[in-house]
C-alpha cells in the first residue's frame, strides 16, 4: 500500500476568508480539554490554539487542527453530524463564533465563493486521504501511516505531540503494541524520537 502526502492546505484562501470576517462575530477563550459546542446556527473560526475532531462513542481522533481554520463551513449542516462528532480543545484557544447566515451573506457580498469552494474541497480531500490510508489496513500499517503523517507536520507542531499518544488516539491501537513497534523502529534506525517526540524519520519498512 503506497503512501501519498497530505493534500496541500489552501492557506491563501483560508486567510482571505478569515480576514474578510475580522469585523464580524464574537471571540471567546476556551481552556484546554473543553468541548466546543456545535450548532447548525453558527460557524466557528479557530483564531489561535488547536483542536481535534473526535468520534462521540470512542473519542477516536479524525482530524487535528493546529493553525487558524474555519470549522463547519458546509452550506447544509445536519444535526445528525453534530451529534456523532465532538470538537475538543487541545490547548488553550481563541475561537470566533459567527452566525451561519451572516457568514454566507459576507461570502456573497465579497464574492468569495471561489475561495470557499477551494477550502471545502480541501476538507473533502482530507476525508478521502484519511479513508485511503486508515480504512481496513493491518495494525503495523496504521502505525506506519501515522508516523509518516506526523512527520509531514512542521517540527514546531511535532514538538508538542507525543508520538505514541498521537497514534493510539487516531487509530485505537493498544499503547503496548504501538510502543513495541516504535521501539523496534528506533532500534532499526528508522526513526529518531526524543522525549516521545518524533524528530526524524527514514523510509519505513512496508511489513512488520
Q: Are residues 95 and 164 in the same domain?
A: no
Q: Are residues 130 and 155 in the same domain?
A: no
How many folded domains does the chain comprise?
2
Tell me the percentage of the chain whose pLDDT exceeds 90.
Answer: 64
Beta pairing partners, 86 = 54
Per-residue model confidence (pLDDT) at position 81 = 62
CATH number of the CATH domain containing 181: 1.10.10
Q: Which domain holds residue 28?
A: 11-134
Q: Are residues 26 and 80 in the same domain?
A: yes
- Name which of 19-33, 100-114, 117-131 the model is least confident about: 117-131
Per-residue model confidence (pLDDT) at position 83 = 74
Per-residue model confidence (pLDDT) at position 129 = 84
Q: Are residues 23 and 116 in the same domain?
A: yes
Rounded Cα–Cα distance for residues 171 and 43 (Å) = 28
6 domain-assigned? no
Q: Are residues 103 and 48 in the same domain?
A: yes
Which of the two residues, 13 and 58, has the higher pLDDT score?
13
Confidence of residue 174 (pLDDT cuts 50, 70, 90): very high
Per-residue model confidence (pLDDT) at position 75 = 60
pLDDT single digits (tens) 35-69: 998 888 899 999 999 999 988 888 888 888 999 99
> Which residue in 75, 94, 83, 20 sits closest to 55, CA to CA?
83
- Phi (first) and psi of residue 174, to 5 degrees: -70, 150
H runs (alpha helix) in 99-174: 100-109, 113-134, 139-151, 155-158, 163-171
Q: Are residues 63 and 41 in the same domain?
A: yes
Contact 7, 129 (CB under 8 A): yes
3 domain-assigned? no
207 domain-assigned? no
19 domain-assigned? yes
Per-residue model confidence (pLDDT) at position 68 = 95
Q: Are residues 124 and 85 in the same domain?
A: yes
Per-residue model confidence (pLDDT) at position 171 = 87
Alpha carbon 21 to its chain centroid, in Å, reads: 22
Q: Are residues 116 and 182 in the same domain?
A: no
Q: Taking 70 as the threshold, does the pLDDT of residue 77 lie above it? A: no
Amino acid at each position: 500500500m503506497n503512501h501519498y502526502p497530505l493534500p496541500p492546505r489552501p492557506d491563501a484562501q483560508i486567510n482571505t476568508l478569515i480576514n474578510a470576517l475580522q469585523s464580524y462575530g464574537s471571540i471567546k477563550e476556551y481552556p484546554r480539554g473543553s468541548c466546543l459546542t456545535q450548532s447548525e446556527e453558527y460557524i466557528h473560526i479557530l483564531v489561535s490554539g488547536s483542536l481535534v475532531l473526535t468520534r462521540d462513542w470512542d473519542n477516536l481522533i479524525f482530524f487535528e487542527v493546529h493553525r487558524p481554520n474555519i470549522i463547519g463551513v458546509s452550506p447544509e449542516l445536519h444535526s445528525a453530524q453534530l451529534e456523532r462528532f465532538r470538537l475538543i480543545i487541545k490547548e488553550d484557544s481563541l475561537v470566533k463564533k459567527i452566525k451561519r447566515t451572516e457568514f454566507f451573506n459576507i461570502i456573497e457580498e465579497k464574492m468569495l465563493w471561489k475561495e470557499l469552494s477551494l477550502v471545502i474541497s480541501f476538507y473533502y480531500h482530507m476525508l478521502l486521504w484519511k479513508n485511503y490510508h486508515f480504512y481496513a489496513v493491518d495494525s503495523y500499517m496504521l502505525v506506519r501511516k501515522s508516523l509518516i503523517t506526523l512527520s509531514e507536520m512542521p517540527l514546531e507542531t511535532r514538538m508538542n505531540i507525543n508520538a505514541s499518544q498521537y497514534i493510539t488516539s487516531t487509530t485505537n491501537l493498544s499503547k503496548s503494541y504501538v510502543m513495541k513497534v516504535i521501539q523496534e523502529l528506533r532500534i532499526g534506525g528508522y526513526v529518531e524520537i526524543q522525549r516521545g517526540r518524533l524528530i526524524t524519520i527514514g523510509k519505513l519498512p512496508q511489513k512488520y
